[in-house]
C-alpha cells in the first residue's frame, strides 16, 4: 500500500537524517561507542542519498526512488539490529529499534515513483 507521497517522504528523510545524527546527545548515549556512531553514520548517509535521489527534494537525480527505498529498508534494518550486532543492547537499544522500525515502515508505505519531472528540475 503506497500511501506516503514522495514529497512527504523527502521531508521525513531529512528529518530522520538530522534526528539520527543528534540522537546520541538527545537520548544520552554520546559516548564514542558504536551506539553513538551507527546512527550518526546512517543519518549522514540518509541525507547524502536523499540529496541525490530523483524526487522532489533531491538536488541531483542520480538514483531512482526504488533504489532510495531499498537503501531506507537496508539502513532501517541495520539500525534495528545494531544494538545486538555491535553489542550495546544492554546499555541502549530503544532509539535504534524504534527509528529502524519506522524507517522500514515508511519505505514500505511510500510511492515508488516521484510525481514530478526530476529532482529539483534537474535531469
Could you report the per-residue pLDDT of 22-64, keeping only the tens digit for each? 999 999 999 999 999 999 999 999 999 999 999 999 999 999 9
pLDDT above 80 for 73: yes
Average pLDDT over residues 94-120: 87
Residue 43 lies in a domain: yes
Which residues span the domain enclosing 19? 6-111
Residue 123 lies in a domain: no
Positive or negative, the Cα torsion across 110, 54, 66, 73?
negative
Supply the pLDDT for residue 114: 86
CB 26 within 8 A of CB 59: no
Q: How many domains does the chain have?
A: 1
- Per-residue cell: 14: 531529512
> How many other C-beta atoms can be found within 10 angstroms of the C-beta atom of residue 70?
13
CB 107 within 8 A of CB 50: no
Positive or negative, the Cα torsion across 95, 100, 102, 103?
positive
- Per-residue cell: 98: 524504534
Residue 88 lies in a domain: yes
Supply the pLDDT for residue 110: 97
Name the more confident of 114 and 98: 98
Supply the pLDDT for residue 116: 55
Residue 119 lies in a domain: no
Supply the pLDDT for residue 60: 96
Question: Strands, DSSP E only, in 7-99?
Answer: none
**Full-model pTM:** 0.91
Helix or strand or coil: residue 110?
A: strand
Residue 120 lies in a domain: no
Name the more confident of 97 and 115: 97
Residue 122 lies in a domain: no
pLDDT above 70 for 120: no
Q: What are phi and psi of 4, to 5 degrees?
A: -100, 120
Residue 80 lies in a domain: yes
Average pLDDT, the chain: 94
Residue 118 lies in a domain: no
pLDDT above 60 for 123: no
Amino acid at each position: 500500500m503506497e500511501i506516503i507521497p514522495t514529497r512527504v517522504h523527502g521531508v521525513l528523510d531529512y528529518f530522520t537524517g538530522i534526528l539520527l545524527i543528534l540522537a546520541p546527545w538527545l537520548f544520552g548515549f554520546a559516548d564514542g561507542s558504536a551506539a553513538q556512531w551507527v546512527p550518526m553514520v546512517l543519518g549522514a548517509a540518509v541525507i547524502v542519498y536523499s540529496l541525490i535521489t530523483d524526487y522532489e527534494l533531491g538536488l541531483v537525480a542520480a538514483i531512482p526512488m526504488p533504489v532510495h527505498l531499498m537503501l531506507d529498508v537496508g539502513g532501517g534494518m541495520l539500525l534495528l539490529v545494531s544494538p545486538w550486532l555491535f553489542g550495546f543492547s544492554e546499555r541502549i537499544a530503544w532509539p535504534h529499534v524504534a527509528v529502524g522500525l519506522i524507517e522500514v515502515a515508511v519505505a514500505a508505505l511510500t510511492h515508488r515513483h516521484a510525481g514530478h519531472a526530476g529532482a529539483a528540475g534537474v535531469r
